[in-house]
Amino acid sequence: MEYKLENMSLEEKVGQLFQIGFSTSAVSDQVRDMIENYHVGGVIYFSRNIENPAQTAELSNKLQQLAVNSGSEIPLFISADQEGGTVTRLNGATHFPGNMALGAANDQNLTEDVAKFTAVELRNLGINVNLAPVLDVNNNPENPVIGVRSFGEDPELVAELGAAYIKGLQSKGVIATAKHFPGHGDTDTDSHLDLPIIKHQRSRLDRVELYPFKKAIEAGVDSIMTAHVYFPAIENNQGIPATLSKSVLTGLLRNELNFEGLIITDCMEMDAIVKTFGTVEGAVKTIEAGSDTVLVSHSYQRQKNAIEAVIEAVKSGRISEKRIDASVKRILTLKGKIINLEQIDQANPDQIDFKKHQKTAQKLAEKALTLVKDEGVFPIKNIEQKKVSVIDFKMERVSLTEDEGKKSNLFVDYLSQEINKFEYIRLQNMTLSTAAKQKLEDSDLIIVCTYNATANRYQAELAEKLAENNKVLVLALRNPYDYQFIEKTQAFITTYDHSPANQRAAADFILGKIEAEGKLPVNFN
């Protein structure tokens, strides 16, 4: 697939630099307008766009038909954040455990397999870009946005597994996107809400934050996503996030690290941008800085305004058309590499071997499960005859698809099938009612399922209180850093996220069917 820049209007060129989101599960008038009249280069799917595999494939096929039959006749990048673990968008697809589970398993071949199977599913749903893997080194336990989305806190581990994941995705024809450059791991602010700052000196950045991205570039990663984070050691002007920094994107990423692939922004509607420069001005500034693709995930009006602002910036001389052409060339080259026009509208989920993929997800979950603390709790002999009580909390299940979320707790369902005297208590806070206390009486083991006790401290506090008079196991179904708040509790295991495979692995370990093989890829000091 070859396109000639000289055949494209300025409006068509600028449109190719934008990737947009929309709010429906079918082709809406708004997304049709953005493709036909604003010539956007791509769309991004979120959970709001996804009902099931068949619907997703049909949506992708219709969007591609719309693109190649209108305007510049160039097919779309169709992307999704299918990281696994706590960030999964595709209802009905295999829910693989996430990066920190891969870090705990520490198996490059398994990591590559997970990425390959993820790519096979994406490709057969018409998605040709995965906004993964996360290459942030999570060395800050207080990080509110990365956490278990990272492979761990060791830059070499992150680099090795990241390269394996990239290889797996791209071997099956899906663009990998290393994110969030130059690193979002050592922040305690969520860039969705405000502008984080990383104040480390350049020598430390080279050793830690930048190292996995250097290795990703060596591995041939097709795309890198920017971070809305301010790095004073790289950017001299105060308060300029990496996404808008020419020093970061052109000086460091292009010129120093010799990255020749696509630079895509994180969403320009996150508050780190909105509260500082705004989405529209931010779109102009990020292209000036060196970005090739501007991601505007939500607002139809902002999408139009941003495209129009970039066109005007070119017409006024603020941005040269040569600068636009450089990005369009990269976009068209990558589209030519991964998109076959003869198969543009042939996404078909019937070609996916979901059973095979689920077996790999379960293999990963079992290899990742980590026993952090055990003071005489395991193994539990004749557990089928013991009284086991499970305490769960009413929490948002951000990583469960609609089908998975129909059950209150999959771990409970697995465990209760094999234990005769089983009690289940679901709480909204730390308060145990009289009826709940009665259920807990004479328990041989109380299991407290925490989801993010780091943010919801009452979960750990309840486990600690119960451990004064009972044998208590904490099962951290999302955040291994919950262990920081555990002292009296006799046992602690973590699965790193509550994907179905991880919940089954936790139940199987407690029942004595499997060993806990995982090694913590982070520490708690």
Q: Are 228 and 242 in contact (CB under 8 A)?
A: yes
Task: Indicate which residue of 113, 266, 292, 482 is catalytic.
Answer: 266
Nearest CA-CA partner of 212 in 315, 291, 99, 363 = 99
Q: Are 140 and 187 in contact (CB under 8 A)?
A: yes
Paired sense of beta strands 370-374 and 491-494, if any = antiparallel
B/e letters for 373-412, b = 16+ CB within 10 Å, e = fewer, are: eeeebbebeebeeebbbbbbbebebebbbeebeeeebbbb
Tokens found for residue 102: 């891969």
Tokens found for residue 379: 């193994």
Q: How far apart are CA 370 and CA 109, in angstroms?
A: 20
Whether 298 is catalytic: no
Q: What is the DSSP letter of 372?
A: E
Amino acid at 213: F
Amino acid at 411: F
Nearest CA-CA partner of 245 in 262, 261, 221, 229 = 229
Helix axes 321-338, 300-315, angle to 10 degrees: 130
What SS3 state is found at 419? coil
Q: How far apart are CA 348 and CA 121, in angstroms?
A: 9
Q: What is the CA radius of gyration of the chain?
A: 24
Q: Are 521 and 367 in contact (CB under 8 A)?
A: no
Q: Scanning the structure block, which residue is given the tokens 């390269």?
A: 163
Whether 95 is catalytic: no
Q: How far apart are CA 25 and CA 49, in angstroms?
A: 4
Q: What is the helix, strand, coil percentage profile of the chain, to 5?
A: 45, 15, 45
For residue 230, report the phi and psi dihedrals to the nearest 5 degrees. Answer: -95, 125
Task: Indicate which residue of 190, 192, 194, 206 is catalytic.
Answer: 192
Count the Cβ atoms, other than its own, within 10 Å of residue 332.
21
Question: Sign (positive/negative) of CA torsion 330, 336, 337, 340?
Answer: positive
Sheet with 387-393, edge to edge strand ranges:
370-374, 491-494, 472-476, 445-450, 387-393, 421-427
Which sequence positions are flagged as catalytic?
A: 192, 266
